[in-house]
Structure 1
Amino acid sequence: MSNLGSNGSSESVESVTIAPNALFQPQYCHDSGRIRAFLRLSRIATDDTIRQHLNEIKQRDCESYLVRKIFPQWEARSELIDYCFKYSKNLRNSTSQGKAVPKAVNLPSSNVQENETSIEEQFDLRTDPYAYKSHQQQLESQFTHCDMIDNWIKNEQSVEQILRQETIKVFNDKCYQKDWTKDIQKFR
């Protein structure tokens, strides 16, 4: 979300320093468009334009730039990705618990009649013979959503890793008075 100033140079990237709290909602983990837009804008504001930003600052300001501009962006992106990772993990766990045949698996008795009764008690198959099947389809759908969330999360984590490696290289090239790798690894 880097704005061009009147002189054509990039202005401060402070407008995209933290992930908006509104994005920390499960609905945005399922439909990741808004989160991915934030990630893209944050990357444009920092990592994608790091060379230009480092050309504009003095050597002595490298550490300040790293701490005030780069690290907050990385942290905001990581928090948002981690939020959806944890959400997906919790959704998968609760779906897994719901997928087990109710009470039938956990009963020590091997009486099949008892197991069938517990299924019928939870799903009144006399009034709705498709209730159990519908429930299973819903759980399968939830697993599919978990897989979709996990896939975009893995993709974004890979992008983050690549961008951070490139940022470290550029930072070490432009701010060569110090090896920044250790400082950057402390952040991780």
Structure 2
Amino acid sequence: MSRPSTHPRLTPQFCFNQTALRDFLRISRGTIDDSITQNLNALLTPAHRGFDPSSTSTRQVASPDHGRSLQPEQCEGFKEKVLFPSWAVRSDVLDYCAGVATSPDPDDPDSVLRQIEDSKARERTVDERLDPYSSRYFPREARTESLAMLMRNERAVEKIIRMRTWSLLAERCGMTADSAETAFDKWRVTQRQ
């Protein structure tokens, strides 16, 4: 069985290093959610009856998924020990980095440069008759703004991935009518108690 994602050390530097942040999310999703079919197949036990040579002499007309459903306790174990803990780690990272993105950033190395560029842009003389492009000015965005945009995108990706994983899990395990978020929220409540 796969292992849940490990919790990275949460610091503002981790969040602002968008390569490390994206790599963590990509690896975590790839290990658990993107390979959900393989993870669920790993829960199946080999044939209980052993190999029957006569089974190859006749054509099997049963659907390919016949006998591929999992035992409820296997599904619950996978959800409790692997899936939900991985989702929790990713949720914690996304929540923390979203908080960093909305906080003031006194350590922004580009803040002085942005202030200089802004003051130069205000002092510039614009004559659109001579140069129609002279009024253009595209200020650099602060790294908190860039991080906030990344967090919005990653939350949308996370939502899609969870819905896909949950639908495959429901298909193989015959689970309840709870949505992925509802089931995950219930699990988090039980973990806090």
Distance, in Å, in 1 between the alignment partners of 2:27 and 2:79 is: 18
Q: Which residue of 2 aligns with 1:91?
A: 104
Structure 1: state its 5+ residue gaps: 1-11, 96-129
2:21 maps to 1:35: yes
Cα–Cα, structure 1 residues 33 and 91, in superposed 2: closer, same or farther, change >3 Å?
Answer: same
Residue by residue over 1:152-182, the C-alpha shift from the partner in whole angstroms, topping out at 9 and shown as x without a partner, is: 1111101100000001100110001x32635
Please show how residues 14-163 of structure 1 align to structure 2 within 5 Å. Answer: 14=3, 17-21=5-9, 24-57=10-43, 58-59=70-71, 60-91=73-104, 134=116, 144-163=142-161
Distance, in Å, in 1 between the alignment partners of 2:75 and 2:142 is: 45
Structure scoring higher RCO (CA < 8 A, sep ≥ 6) equals 2
Q: Is the 8 A contact 2:163 2:180 kept in 1?
A: no
Distance, in Å, in 2 between the alignment partners of 1:54 and 1:90 is: 40
Residue by residue over 1:64-88, the C-alpha shift from the partner in whole angstroms, topping out at 9 and shown as x without a partner, is: 1011000011010111111110011
Displacement of 1:186 in angstroms is 3.5
Distance, in Å, in 1 between the alignment partners of 2:146 and 2:169 is: 34
Structure 2: state its 5+ residue gaps: 44-69, 120-138, 186-193
Cα–Cα, structure 1 residues 32 and 183, in superposed 2: closer, same or farther, change >3 Å?
Answer: closer
Q: Which residue of 2 aligns with 1:185?
A: 182
Cα–Cα, structure 1 residues 184 and 81, in superposed 2: closer, same or farther, change >3 Å?
Answer: closer
Equivalent pairs: percent with the same residue?
A: 27
Higher mean C-alpha deviation, range 153-162 or range 46-55: 46-55
Distance, in Å, in 2 between the alignment partners of 1:50 and 1:166 is: 9
- Bigger helix share: 1
2:173 maps to 1:175: yes
Q: Which residue of 2 aligns with 1:13?
A: 2
Distance, in Å, in 2 between the alignment partners of 1:184 and 1:170 is: 15
2:164 maps to 1:166: yes
CA RMSD of aligned residues (A): 2.9
